[in-house]
A = this chain, B = another copy of it.
Amino acid sequence: MTLGSDIGGTNTCIGSVDPEGQVIARTSFSTSDYSDSELYADRLAEATKEVMRKTEEAQTDHISWQGLGIGAPNGNFRTGAIEEPANLNFKGHTPLVALLKKRLDLPRIELTNDANAAAIGEKIYGGAKDYQDFIMVTLGTGLGSGVFVNNQLVYGHDGFAGELGHISVIPDGRYCGFGRRGSLENYCSATGIRRTFFEMIAQRGGRTSLDSMRISEITAKHIADAAYDGDQIAIATMDFTGRLLGEALASIALVTSPAAFFLFGGPVNAGEVLLEPLRNTFEEHLIPPFKNKIKIIASTIEMGDAAILGASALILAD
């Protein structure tokens, strides 16, 4: 039995996972309440113990805990630290694995970034089981990714490989964090898709099926669902997103020559309205030796459990 924790800017989730990839018990608490990393580690350790207790109560057999895997923004596998996260209240360098080892008696505690955790989850529990070379792309608040080469997740020389969201796609494009402009996640993450939706309202005018919603309520998932249901502004949004992401993935494929890209996140719910322009533009921009070889696949991991499953799978990866 393993434990997985997903640290998001808003909530921290933690759950226990059985060898078949079923989440057995879970809990969550507010991440944003904590600006002190010691107090946060106290709370995470307490929540972990609560999940272990709930799991043990639910099982008659003795449970052997293999460890805790954690996915976090800017989580560094090599150092076990969260480094300069943009959307957490504890800033700078937080040596989370070291802090938790003082508080929990588990054989292994590992940390990586949330998208790397998702890639490992897809490899161990999802559609990437038979792929040695693939790239996982997560469309959330940011655009994250995890790169597998030769059956192994690529960490790179300092543990930060796979930050595809920050690749520049439109010179002098939308304003991003860090004083940069035009990076992929400002267009194709859930947040970027929301920005595109408002751009499409501006460009096209007319009505959308989401008109009765408050601006603050609208998420990429609403836009994806509206596109799926035939809303023209939402369809134009997903079409733009698919084409831009397709072009970017055609460039990214040149680096590691993956056999597939797996896509995960709320926007993927739009289905073919997103995937068809994405696949077409992707193929169009590939150079001949790459054409008609690389699959674009929606993740098979269920949304609600993915982050916990992915993080827990870190304990099972080489």
Contact = CB atoms under 8 A, between A and B. Distances in A.
A73 to B, nearest CB: 11
Interface residues of A, number: 46
A285 B180 CA distance: 7
A287 B166 contact: yes
Given A168-B247, A247-B168, A256 B287 contact: no
A107 B154 CA distance: 33
B156 A133 contact: yes
A281 to B, nearest CB: 11
Interface in A187-231: none
A189 to B, nearest CB: 15
A255 B160 contact: no
Contacts of A147: 255-256
A180 B281 CA distance: 12
Nearest to A251: B167
A259 interface: yes
A293 interface: yes
Nearest to A150: B152
12 contacts: A74-B289, A131-B157, A150-B150, A154-B257, A157-B259, A157-B294, A163-B287, A163-B289, A163-B290, A166-B254, A168-B250, A178-B288
